[in-house]
Amino acid sequence: MEKQLLQQLFQQNKQPVLGFDAEYRVFWMNEAACRQFPDILEEMDIRKAFPGFSFAGLGGPSGLDAPVTLQAEDGQSRITLLGFCEEEPFYAAIWSDHRMYALRQDDTTSAEGVELMDAWMRRDVFHIFNHLEKLGQLMEQNGITAGTDSLERIEKSCQQLLRLGINLRGYYGSSREQDSMAEPVYMGEFLNELFRQADFRLEASGIRLMRQDQSGLSVCRIEKRRFAAAILNLIDLSAAYLPADGEMWFIMSHTDRQFCITFSDPSMPAGLLSGGLNCMETGQQDGRSSMILPKVSFGFLDRVVRECGGRCLLREENPGIRVGIRLPLCTEKPLLTVRDESAYTARFRGLNRTSLVSILLSDLE
């Protein structure tokens, strides 16, 4: 199953990708690899074209439990090595060039590996959702109510996995395609619609999302889905520490050149950002938000804002936090349409539970 998924994900990839086993025998190559490394096709041995490649320094074939980046001596080319386990372990190698490689010990996080993990989780979770949908329909048709709570728990767990993939890919993944997806957006309309959807999710916890909109018709060029996910992470993180009657604030305003967002939360504990943004931590309060990743959430937000040409300022207030976001205005005029694209389809479920808001705030109920 894993080998089939590997082939499906990378068959049309423009980068050469090869699958091979612990004996260096190649069992699959995508089209780009076949064109770039025709020598491998003769013997299907990865060492045919890369005689210097070995597992030395990687902990051995069985010890490869995380993506590893191998770097060329020129510092420009690289290979990302991914390990998988079925009955026998196998590996995927993603090349950005065809030179000889040596291990760079301080680079073990790769965009390709995170993207593969995210795609893998989404694929399997979607299958579970499809089965849940069919099972739920059969239960409704036959008037069966026992077991519906189990379906709810399974769906929530799947939502948390999707959420984890969104966050990790947003923080660690590649941003090479973001420029082509960005579009001009009326920021006030966009964010107020997002906040209205978040209100529904926060209501179950008694938390209020307060806001003031003094932004007028400010237009910024953003990639809507990534920007929405970054803002929802901020809401989710704050909600994890607020009491049941707590409030968080968003104030939107503008200057001649910038659109401004100021977020404040009076309850978030100090120290969440100690040590920088490169380490994941987990936090939990009253059983909520079991998958909080504070540094990833802030790092994702900072990355998205920088990709939009803006800047993000964070200040811890012990307790509480204040976040300032500044985005450059653009002169393009978009259509006044805002919608949250569904992440998956489930016909028998209601209450807008299939949206991006639902997935990112899935722990609040």
The domains of the chain are located at 2-108, 178-347
93-97, 216-220, 266-270: least confident range: 93-97
Tell me the C-alpha to C-alpha distance, in Å, between residue 92 and each of 64, 83, 141, 164. 11, 7, 45, 23
Q: Which of 278-282, 322-326, 334-338, 353-357 has the lowest mean pLDDT?
A: 278-282
Flag whether pLDDT at 289 surpasses 80. no
pLDDT value of residue 42: 76
Query: Average model confidence (pLDDT) for the chain?
Result: 77
Average pLDDT, integer, range 196-225: 90
Residue 214 pLDDT greater than 70, yes or no = yes
- Crossing angle of the two packed helices 148-172 and 224-241, in degrees rounded to 10: 120
Residue 63: pLDDT band (50, 70, 90) is: low
Residue 167: what pLDDT? 84
CATH superfamily of 178-347: Histidine kinase-like ATPase, C-terminal domain (3.30.565.10)
Supply the pTM of this predicted model: 0.64
End-to-end CA distance of the chain: 34
Predicted pLDDT at 335: 64
Q: Is the pLDDT of residue 230 over 90?
A: yes
Look-up of token digits 């939107």: 252
3-state secondary structure of 332: coil
CATH architecture of 2-108: 2-Layer Sandwich (3.30)
Q: What is the mean pLDDT of residues 152-179?
A: 75
Residues of the chain with pLDDT > 90: what percent?
16
Element (H, E) at 27: strand 26-29
Whether 339 shows a pLDDT value over 60: the answer reads no
